[in-house]
Amino acid sequence: MAKKLENSLMNMFLSLTVICLVVGALLGWVYRITEEPIAKANADKQTAAIKAVAPEFDTVGEAVVTTSSNGLEATKFPVFKDGKPAGAAVQVITAKGFGGNITLMFGFDNEGNLTGYNCLAMAETPGLGSKIPQWFVEGGKGNVIGKNPGKNNLTVSKDGGEVNAITAATISSRAFCDAIAQAYGVFTETDAKTAATPKAYAAEADSETGDDAGGQEEAQDALNNETNNQ
């Protein structure tokens, strides 16, 4: 009886081993077959995102991964036209959004003028901060396209800047302006906070960021205060 049980366990072990080997081989084969198409699809998606914000180009240079002055990862994609530098697209993350981190990509020409932007990820309030993708484009109420963060004060008007904030969403608008400063700092390889953010911003940011208060009730109070101040 003991020998029979031992044989059964051995057969089970061998069967499981064979199954694992077959499954592993199949997974490896599927990975090899799909690796190249997936990589190409990701590269095409990235190129499309860059094309949507950057100046006209025919070649994207090697991505440069760095850390912006807020300590979060940023990526610069230099672009070229006929072999000459045409500007860059810069992807940054700002942690100052009302709903958390916001990931944006900005385009700059050789002079540092903004040529476009794209919101890649955010969790801002629907109908308020969620208007970021439409509010600051050409034709939008807070248009920043064509402006230069090194020459223009691209902070919200409440902070003495030139940017019209999204109605009832000053925190989200400040986060967007902060992202511009971060991206410009990466583009020019200077400290973004020094280059484009006035001292008044730092003094007010902590008092208005609702999610720093530690709860949903405090966050809602901050949003209500923003609405009343408009």
Residue at 198: amino acid letter? P
Cross-strand pairs, 76:
64, 90
Report yes or no: 40 and 34 within 8 Å, Cβ to Cβ.
no
- Write out pLDDT tens, residues 54-82: 999 999 999 999 989 889 999 999 999 99
Distance CA 140, CA 220 (A): 27
Q: Is the pLDDT of residue 193 over 70?
A: no
Neighbours of 225 (CB within 10 A): 14
pLDDT band at 28 (very low <50, low <70, confident <90, very high): confident
* pLDDT (0 to 100) of residue 194: 35
Q: 0.75 exceeded by the pTM?
A: no
Q: Is the pLDDT of residue 218 over 60?
A: no
Q: Is the pLDDT of residue 87 over 90?
A: yes
Start-to-end Cα distance in the chain: 85
Per-residue CA distances from 150 to 61, 77, 113, 143, 193 (Å): 24, 20, 9, 16, 11
Q: Is the pLDDT of residue 7 over 70?
A: no
Q: Is the pLDDT of residue 143 over 60?
A: yes
Distance CA 181, CA 197 (A): 7
